Structure 1
Amino acid sequence: MASMIPILLRCSLLLLLLVQSTHSSVTLTQKPKNAMAEEHKQLHPSTSDTYVVLTNHLAKPSKFDTHERWYASMAGENSNHIRHTYGTVMHGFAARLTDGEAHRMATVPGVSLVYKDRVYHTQTTRSPWFMGLHDDFGAWPDAEFGDGVIIGFVDTGIWPERASFNDAGLGPVRSTWRGKCVDAPGFNASLCNNKLVGAKSFLTVELEGGGLLTDPSPRDIAGHGTHVASTAAGSEVPSADLFQFAGGRASGVAPMARIAMYRACNAGCFASDVIAAIDAAVTDGVDLLSISIAYPAEPFYDDLLSVATFGAERRGVFVVLAGGNKGPTALTISNVAPWMTTVGAATTDRVFPATLTLGNGVVLTGQSLYDTPFSQSQGAGMVPLVRTSCGEYDLTPDKVMGKVVVCSREAGASAGFEVERAGGAGIVSVQSTERFWDTVMAEPFPLPGLLLSSAGGKKLADYMSSVAYPVASFNFTCDTVTGENRAPMVAGFSSRGPNPIVPEILKPDVIAPGVNILAAWSGAAPPSDSDMDPRRVEYNIISGTSMACPHVAGVAALIKKRHGDWTPAMIRSALMTTAGPLDKNGRDIVDGGRPEQWKIELAIPQMLLVALRV
């Protein structure tokens, strides 16, 4: 009997969520409202002065003809500070309040809960075929390539001019669709078509000196939203690449599905904006939601994203979310509610090899997206090696001029620009054993550079400590190699279970390709994360559970097309029970860089392979 208590408690919590979403006066917790407001004040430091106020829909006094006027009366003199109102997946509003006003708001009749705003973070060609999709048989033709299914994305916006969003061969969107594309600065509604059927913005930006302003444009200036949208539902493009890497035909997982973008993020995402975007997407009539953001797991009643997605699923909208990039540490998984489909990241069988030959003849293989053969670049031949932290103050000309810099901490392309600025000849970054294990991700370095696994980094460190004047030489072939490495494996960075909130519910649900993924990119963002990077590209290669999430959204769109009457729970069940537990060579999927016996201990979720019927 004792073992049943946790399950009963969680069932009670789900019942409370259900009751709240049907507008009962019951709150989501048995704590007094003042105590709950105080707990939020202590546990969730403010990233703005915005609070989200959840209300009981049926408690509106009859003297108010609309909920908006009721909310304005609650806010009082702050009524002009109301930023969003919610009326589909949950009921309430977001407003600028002081802490004292928020405390008082929690005692107002009809108020269920008051949340302090917080910031969520985004979790940043070959993969459809690697997943088992084929033009002539199987899931793609059986599901008509997802034609007509509408996937909503809550992300950084979209760059509509990319070829991945052309609507060749697509008919009009269904007549029941209520979404639209907005006219805004830098974004004309005419840019939308039968592929991009909706584009709105809910993004709030912080102004210098305080205050907030809503950016009305759904145009993507970060790249992340464009990347995930084209991954899930991008139209087929005959030829796509990044600096000639990963070149070839590119396609979204559901290439005939439609895209609706709800911009709520840039560098981060305010929870209040994300909830407004979800509310609008469900109101508009999306079939699915793909949300590549994460926040440390919290009790469901304390997590706005859990509450909002619960409301979305109750209205028949399937929701898939990124599991987070905090692995390989246990108990780091995000988005753990049972109604969420939570996705971890896996490797594919595509790599971008580059080598570093040491002065003792040892050759170390890493990965790189540097696109110039080394004989044509600066510092060709054996070059002195120097180790630094690659911090801004360590990269000075007197230390690194004419040398290959070996970073003693993880460093990407942004550090490459600092090395280049200081006159360095190249850069070598070693991925942390604790952070990535042996999952090596490629970086678009601006000068000769590569990333080594932790094992390769140890060999390099041993060599450098054994000689007085260590030297090395790069070799870049600019090749894309497929089919030679073991894949898929769980990416080292992918957040791990067990579920820290409800251990009885295993998370993540599935894994999908999330390492070195090529997809469309914003024309306003560089391919690296450096402000010093002047380059602009049409396609980019990045990694993260953010990239895995839209793969699953695309597969869900295929299932939705084939089985239009299936509920979100049925779609999730189909994904989980038909996913493949074996890699491409028929062996158990394992954790990247770890012995095979770790598989059972870490409870690795199954890889999403959809060569099966949908």
Structure 2
Amino acid sequence: MAFSPLHGFILGLLLVQLAGSMAIPPSGPSNQQHEQEPSKAYIVYTDHVAKPSHFATHELWYTSMVASLSPAAANDSNRIFYLYDTVAHGFAAELTADEARRLSITPGVAGVLEDGVMHLHTTRSPSFLGLDRDLGILPDTNFGDDVIIGFVDTGIWPESPSFTDAGLAPVRRSRWNGRREDGERFNASMCNNKLVGARFFPNPMGTRATKASTFPMGNVEFQSPRDKAGHGTHVASTAAGSEVPGAELFGFATGTARGVAPRARVAMYKAVVAAVDAAVKDGVDILSISLGGYHDPDFYRHPPSVALFGAVRAGVFVACSAGNEGPMASSLGNVAPWITTVGATNLDRVFPATIVLGNGQALVGQSLYTYTANQTPMVRLLPSNCTGTDLVPDMIMGKIVVCTDVGPLTGMAVQSAGGSGVVSIATEDWGMEGLMVQAFTLPAVSLGAREAAKLDAYIRSDPFPVASLRFTCGTAVGESRAPMVASYSSRGPNHIVREVMKPDMVAPGTNILASWPDETLLSGPRRASFNILSSTSMSCPHVAGVAALLRNGHRDWTPEMIRSALLTTAATLDNQGRPIADSAAGARSGGATPMAAGAGFVRPQQAMDPGLVYDAGEKDYVELLCTMNYAAAQIGVFVPGFAGCTATLPGGGGGLNYPSFVADLSDGAGVRVLARTVTKVSEGPETFTAKVVAPDHLVEVTVTPATLEFAGHRNEMKSYSVVFRSKKRPAAGMAQQFGEIVWESDVHRVRSPVAFIWD
């Protein structure tokens, strides 16, 4: 995956217990002994109901399996290092590739997958979401009090003021079984009524490598729940941070920092599959997972999808980041239908700075550089490829270096070589509104593609181009267009089951201020208690926080009902009353499509009272997997004891009772019939009428019945069907078209985005 240059840390060995994307194909026992074959970590999925009766426990059964592989395995009691018994069933173990192959054909084993690597995917954003401290959903839900959000991430910095428990009583629910584990520079006493759980799942095979591995800026990760990378601290405080007055980063984005659900509780889990299993067993209500990196062809090959299936089945709402490979199509990393996939947008907050060219032209960009003299002298501009061979004193001394997508390390190299400044060109971001800012230690300005084109034209036209950088050292709020889908935000279609639309929605992810470990370096030698980051990693916890508010207000809602409420009430217009735009260069005309924005921008207040919701459950997802022609053994990875498919979804994958529609019209008939069932979650009798928006010249859409009448009691259900009939194929390059189906009453508006696909 591609990542924001602000936090492109590879989590690698830190996030252990995540199986990789390649299943181990069955094969017969090897006749050769591979004495030198390296061991790796594998996850072994089992059908736990198949345990032979002569084993008293599953652990004894698993131990016997591993011991049977070789005399060495029989004598090594440490080969198994995690057991799974909640969201999945099985164990993690140290195995050679040959042992993994032989174990995969052992009776009772549903699958064996190799360990892999996953990557990491405020003062303003809560108010931009419409969250008011004095009225609406925040006070109505007591700011998310007593809802527990579990974070699977790099850990947490417990000393951060965002995790103070002032005014919070102990968790009142008896079913909370969270643990607080000791480790390197972390002990249980650091937890409190805000940080109610902190656990670390080390990989015995990767311990030495993990301790030796270093991150950018020299960060070495702790063997404990303590966060050194900073990502987990930032994410957790974004979703559920307590109020912190006076938050800022070097004078920028000043204000009171608070999470979306500031009284929700935080439980940090530093691992992946093992962490999800533990979090669900502990009793979390919400899971926020800002991780990704797999583009597997099947869900059963993707251990996080398997684990999160179990989490949702247990009633836990799961939010996952969409990924940072946009604007490339089909670049999403988390597409399982049972999770909520979140893309990223900007805020209506910018940090303006100006480049004044030698011809008098002024180009507007953004910067987090603090410069007391307001402007730099007029000096020469030097286009550069910003490699090590370019960044030497003889070439750049005293010059402003112009590079593409400069990161903090490059800025430090320019400064070390005597450069007087940096201009960072963002090739994918059209305007300045969506630019990712960075706290450079030398004068620096970031430009979008539109302004960059002007700069390039000037440099080409002048044999001695010069410029001055001008800084206001300020923060502008409410003046720029927002939300706009970030260029880096990963896009659909869904690469596994394209009839299920992903991403589901978008939320603030660009230039988000949140807590940071005050020992972890930023750019250069500087440290701070807050940091500004950009990524779908930052948008995901916003939705997790909103889900925590909804869970507080609607304890009887399923995860799917929460997702539906968020999706069907999402905004499609920006703060200027125009369709939400796409900040990617060349993509702004016509607004962001659902392949970039999903249903739109999350609106917490509206989601609290959606009127109707689309629900689903294990049976629906199993029928989807059957529709995808998964074998019984493959579905058994999700549902132990699964005997075989008895039903599939009418209409194919698009027949899942999802809040959005994808009408695949690529077959010869050009007709698709999809059914949906809605559940009324509001009081009182109500009549809803269907309204359809579609490209009339290409497709005909008929909703039957066109009116839904509800008697008035909660949880009343009504079903309807939609016939999508292609009139003609669109022109080349236009094989995706979009529309919407809206159910309207006098009180509610329930909107579902629709994608029409011909190829």
Q: Provide TM-score, normalisation by structure 1.
A: 0.87
Distance between the aligned counterparts of 1:186 and 1:211, measured in 2? 14
- Percent identity between matched residues is 54
Deviations 1:421-462 (A, max 9, x none): 111111111012389997311110011011111121121111
Counterpart residue number, 2:469: 474
Cα gap change, 1:556/1:208 in structure 2, threshold over 3 Å: closer, same or farther?
Answer: closer
Is 1:327–1:435's contact at 8 Å kept on the other side of the alignment? no
1:79 offset after TM fit, Å? 4.2
2:486: which partner in 1?
A: 491
Matches within 5 A, 1:7-156: 34=26, 49-76=40-67, 77=73, 79-123=77-121, 125-156=123-154
Question: Which residue type is aligned with residue 607 of structure 1?
Answer: F
> Over residues 452-506 of structure 1, what are the superposed CA-to-partner deviations in whole Å (9 max), with x where a residue is unaligned?
1112112111111111111111111110001111100111000001111111100
User: Is this contact kept in 2: 1:327–1:436, CA < 8 A?
Assistant: no
Alpha-carbon separation, structure 2, partners of 1:210 and 1:97: 19
Aligned to 1:534: 525
1:609 aligned to which of 582, 588, 603: 603
What CA distance in whole angstroms lies between the structure 2 residues aligned with 1:211 and 1:224? 18
Partner of 1:22: none
Task: Quote the residue 2:182 is aligned against.
Answer: 183
**Which SS does the other structure have where 2:268 is aligned?**
strand
Deviation at 1:613, TM superposition (A): 6.0
Q: How does 1:271-350 map to 2 (within 5 A)?
A: 274-298=272-296, 299-350=298-349
1:589 is the counterpart of 2:580: yes
- Any idea what the Cα deviations from partners look like across 1:263-294, whole Å, max 9, x if unmatched? 12xxxxxxxxx100000000100001000011
Question: Distance between the aligned counterparts of 1:167 and 1:512, measured in 2?
Answer: 27
Q: Distance in 2 between matches of 1:499 and 1:508?
A: 8
Q: Distance in 1 between matches of 2:225 and 2:208?
A: 22
**Rg comparison, structure with higher value:** 2
Partner of residue 244, structure 1: 251
What is the CA-CA distance between 1:244 and the residue it aligns to? 0.9
Encode CA deviations 1:347-370: one digit per residue, 9 max, x unaligned: 110001111111111111111111
Q: Please, which runs of 5 or more residues in structure 1 have no aligned partner?
A: 1-30, 39-45, 265-273
Aligned residue for 1:574?
Answer: 565
Q: In 2 relative to 1, CA 35–319 (structure 1 residues): closer, same or farther, beyond 3 Å?
A: farther
Alignment-derived partner of residue 513 in structure 1? 508
Q: Which moved more, 1:65-74 or 1:304-313?
A: 65-74
SS in 1 for 2:198: strand
Deviates more, 1:94-103 or 1:213-222: 213-222
| Partner of residue 165 from structure 2, selected from 164, 167, 170 | 167
**Residue identity opposite 1:604 in structure 2:** A
Which amino acid in 1 is paired with 2:63?
A: A
1:153–1:261 contact (8 Å) kept in structure 2: yes
Query: What is the alpha-carbon distance in structure 2 between the residues aligned to residue 560 and residue 403 of structure 1?
Result: 55
Instruction: State the one-letter code of the partner of 2:452.
Output: G
CA distance in 2, matches of 1:562, 1:210: 42
8 Å contact 1:322–1:548 — kept in the other structure? yes
Q: Counterparts of 1:47 and 1:566 in 2: how far apart (Å)?
A: 48
Please provide the CA RMSD for this pair: 2.5
* Distance in 2, Cα, partners of 1:439 & 1:429: 14
Measure how far apart 1:405 and its partner are.
Answer: 0.8
Identify the residue that residue 458 of structure 1 maps to in structure 2.
453
Q: Distance in 2 between the 1:177 and 1:151 partners?
A: 12
Higher relative contact order (CA 8 A, sep 6+): 1
Given residue 540 of structure 1, which amino acid in structure 2 is its aligned partner? N
In 2, the alpha carbon distance for the partners of 1:177 and 1:479 equals 44
The alpha-carbon distance between structure 1 residues 422 and 364, as it changes in their structure 2 partners (threshold 3 A), is: same
Residue 304 of structure 2 aligns to which amino acid in structure 1? L
Which AA in structure 2 matches 1:245? Answer: F
Of 540, 545, 554, 2:545 maps to 554
- 2:680 maps to which residue? none
- Give the CA deviation at 1:66: 1.9
1:341–1:390 distance in 2 versus 1, CA, 3 Å: same
Within the alignment, does 1:221 sit opposite 2:264 as a pair? Answer: no
Contact 2:369/2:440, CA 8 A, preserved across alignment: yes
How far apart are residue 563 of structure 1 and its match? 0.5
Distance of aligned partners of 1:333 and 1:229 in 2 relative to their CA distance in 1, 3 Å threshold = same
Residue 163 to residue 37, structure 1, CA distance change in 2 (3 Å): farther
Check whether the contact 2:29–2:102 (CA below 8 A) recurs between aligned residues: no
- Distance in 1 between residues matched to 2:138 and 2:248, nearest whole Å: 23
For the residue of structure 1 that corresponds to 2:111, the secondary structure is strand
**CA-CA distance at 1:63 after TM superposition:** 2.7
Q: Kindly provide the amino acid, as one letter, of the partner of residue 180 in structure 1.
A: R
The structure carrying a bigger helix percent of its residues is 1
TM-score scaled by length of structure 2 = 0.71
DSSP-derived class of the 2:485 partner: coil
* Deviation digits for residues 289-319 of structure 1 (CA, Å, limit 9, x no counterpart): 0000112332111111110000001111111
Match of 2:392 in 1: 396
The aligned counterpart of 1:405 is 401
Distance (whole Å) between structure 2 residues aligned to residue 230 and residue 485 of structure 1 = 25
Whether contact under 8 Å (1:221, 1:523) holds in the other structure is: no
Matched residue type, 1:129: S
The Cα offsets for residues 381-400 of structure 1, whole Å up to 9 and x where unpaired, read as 10111121111222011011
Q: Secondary structure at the match of 2:582?
A: coil
Contact map agreement 2:243 2:257 (CA 8 A) in 1: yes
Contact 1:231 1:550 in 2 (8 A): yes
Q: What is the match of residue 199 of structure 1? A: 198
What letter matches 1:568 in structure 2? P
Q: Which residue does 2:659 correspond to in 1? A: none
> Does structure 1 conserve the Cα–Cα contact (< 8 Å) formed by 2:503 and 2:595?
no
CA distance in 1: counterparts of 2:593 and 2:198, whole angstroms: 44
How many angstroms apart in 2 are the aligned matches of 1:372 and 1:485? Answer: 23
Alpha-carbon distance in structure 2 between the residues aligned to 1:539 and 1:318: 28
* 2:636 equivalent in structure 1: none
Task: Kindly indicate whether the alpha-carbon contact (under 8 Å) linking 2:291 and 2:321 is maintained by their aligned counterparts in 1.
Answer: yes
Deviation at 1:524, TM superposition (A): 3.0
User: 1:610–1:47: structure 2 CA closer, same or farther, 3 Å change rule?
Assistant: farther
Question: Structure 2 counterpart of 1:442, which letter?
Answer: V
- Matched residues in 1 for 2:124 and 2:236: separation? 16
Give distance in 1, aligned partners of 2:554 and 2:38: 42
Q: Structure 1 residue 37: deviation in Å?
A: 13
Q: 2:434 corresponds to which residue?
A: 439
1:338 CA drift (Å):
0.8
Structure 1 residues 36, 366: closer, same or farther in 2, change over 3 A? farther
Contact 1:490 1:592 in 2 (8 A): yes
Q: Deviations over 1:45-66 (max 9, x none)?
A: x998111110110122223222
| Residue identity opposite 1:34 in structure 2 | P
How far did 1:215 drift?
A: 6.2
| Greater Cα offset, 438-447 or 282-291 | 438-447
- How far off its partner does 1:585 sit? 2.3
- Name the CA distance, whole Å, in 2 between partners of 1:293 and 1:209: 21
Could you tell me which amino acid in structure 1 is paired with residue 606 of structure 2? L
- Matching residue's letter, 2:311: A
Kept in 2, the 8 Å contact 1:373–1:477? The answer is: no
Selected match of 1:259 from 256, 266, 275: 266
User: How far apart, in 2, do the equivalents of 1:87 and 1:348 lie?
Assistant: 41
More displaced stretch, 380-389 vs 591-600: 591-600
Give the 3-state SS of the residue equivalent to 1:228 in structure 2: helix
Shift of 1:89: 0.3
Three-state SS of the structure 2 residue aligned to 1:424 is: coil
Query: Does the CA contact (< 8 Å) of 1:155 and 1:225 recur in 2?
Result: yes
- Letter paired with 2:419: G
The alpha-carbon deviation at position 527 of structure 1 amounts to 2.4
Call closer, same or farther: CA 1:79–1:458 in 2, change over 3 Å.
Answer: farther
